[in-house]
């Protein structure tokens, strides 16, 4: 009798394996890149026009209103912040030179990732009818595709943890093969939770450093992202949008892999398979 027969005989296989998984991951990446391109094409021109209209309205207001020299910077800052929150929260200053950065391709990719992951921070939303219509069609296929890939990755995480525990058991003679199936699953579950905790704490520190937050805010953001709660009260504010997108991808992979593995293990423990 070994660990295979003791604890993992009923272990689920990944939904996608080998080349099927690799090809599906490639299709998913391409789907995200193309989706970002479409959102960019639909939303970028409208955002740029809105920026120009905002600039014109601001100039008209300053020309007609009797603001003092001390009041003008304050009013301008308030107007700019309001416009940024609506059209592009990541642009630090709205000057004519930077107007092309509004709804950039990097921001579109970030928005696409947030959307298909169902995190939905709400910091960026499509403003055009075409963008809203495309979002409905895009997520109809994009969300199941992302879930399928991440469920498969989660199954691989479980398999990797099992092999690790099995090798340690064989080397250190822990005798896990003599224990009940639920006991073996509890060991794997504890290991999974420990890894998830370490990654969460590390990522919280990274978010703190990248966004000038305190550590608790970094931990809060990491947790609400990992669990796809995504309140949107804290979001990644970094002009390097591809870096922000990469951080989000890593968080989502950790979230779906750990979450699906956790649910699978808990299900087997409760049913004493």
| pLDDT tens figures, 42-66 | 999 988 888 788 788 888 888 888 8
Domain count, the chain: 1
pTM listed for this prediction: 0.78
State the pLDDT confidence band at 8, using cuts at 50, 70 and 90: very low
The DSSP symbol for 14 reads: P
Percent of the chain at pLDDT above 70? 74
Which structural domain, as residue segments, surrounds residue 24? 3-42+103-271
> Which CATH number goes with the domain that contains 184?
1.10.287.70
Which pLDDT belongs to residue 106? 83
Q: Give the whole-angstrom CA distance, residue 169 versus residue 1.
A: 13
Above 60 in pLDDT, residue 3? no
Confidence class for position 199, pLDDT limits 50, 70, 90: confident
Q: Does residue 226 belong to any structural domain of this protein?
A: yes
Residue 22 sits at the vertex; the CA angle it makes with 20 and 24, to the nearest 5 degrees, is: 65
Q: How confident is the model at residue 116 (pLDDT cuts 50, 70, 90)?
A: very high
pLDDT at 153: 80
**Separation CA 131–CA 271 (nearest Å):** 46
Alpha carbon separation from 88 to 112, 132, 154, 238 (Å, rounded): 14, 16, 34, 12
Does residue 69 sit within a domain?
A: no
Domain assignment present for 62 = no
pLDDT digits (tens, 9 = 90+) for 177-195: 555 555 666 777 777 788 8
What percent of the chain has a predicted confidence (pLDDT) above 90? 18
Question: If you average pLDDT over residues 91-98, what whole number do you get?
Answer: 54
Q: What are the CA-CA distances from residue 111 to residues 1, 122, 144, 164, 222 (Å)?
A: 51, 9, 17, 37, 17
Asked if residue 146 is part of any domain, the answer here is: yes
Residue 47 lies in a domain: no
In a domain, 234, yes or no: yes
DSSP state of 127: -
CA distance 96 to 100: 8
Confirm whether 222 is domain-assigned. yes
Contact 206, 251 (CB under 8 A): no
| In-domain check, residue 19 | yes
What angle separates helix 241-271 from helix 181-211, to the nearest 10 degrees?
160
Pairwise CA distance, residues 206 & 215, whole Å? 9
Cα 12 from Cα 156, distance rounded (Å): 10
**46-49 LR contacts (CB < 8 Å, sep 24+):** 46/103, 46/127, 46/128, 46/131, 47/87, 47/88, 47/102, 47/103, 47/127, 48/99, 48/100, 48/102, 48/103
């Amino acid at each position: 009798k070994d660990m295979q027969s003791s604890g993992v005989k009923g272990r689920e296989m990944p939904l996608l394996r080998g080349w099927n998984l690799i090809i599906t991951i490639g299709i998913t990446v391409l789907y995200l890149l193309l989706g970002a391109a479409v959102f960019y094409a639909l939303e970028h021109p409208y955002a740029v026009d809105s920026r120009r209209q905002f600039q014109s309205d601001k100039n008209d207001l300053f020309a007609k209103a009797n603001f003092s020299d001390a009041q003008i910077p304050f009013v301008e800052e308030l107007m700019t912040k309001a416009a940024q929150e609506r059209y592009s929260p990541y642009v630090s200053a709205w000057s004519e030179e930077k107007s092309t950065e509004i709804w950039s391709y990097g921001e579109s990719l970030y928005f696409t990732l947030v959307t298909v992951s169902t995190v939905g921070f709400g910091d960026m939303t499509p403003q055009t009818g075409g963008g809203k219509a495309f979002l409905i069609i895009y997520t109809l296929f994009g969300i199941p595709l992302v879930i399928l890939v991440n469920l498969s990755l989660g199954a691989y995480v479980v398999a990797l943890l099992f092999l690790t525990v099995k090798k340690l058991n064989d080397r250190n003679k822990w005798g896990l093969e003599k224990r009940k199936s639920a006991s073996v699953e509890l060991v794997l579950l504890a290991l999974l939770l420990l890894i998830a905790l370490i990654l969460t704490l590390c990522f919280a520190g990274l978010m703190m450093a990248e966004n000038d937050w305190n550590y608790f805010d970094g931990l809060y953001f990491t947790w609400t992202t990992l669990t796809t709660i995504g309140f949107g009260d804290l979001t990644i504010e970094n002009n390097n949008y591809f870096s922000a997108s990469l951080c989000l991808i890593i968080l989502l992979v950790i979230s779906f892999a750990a979450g699906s593995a956790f649910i699978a293990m808990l299900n087997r423990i409760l049913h004493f398979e």
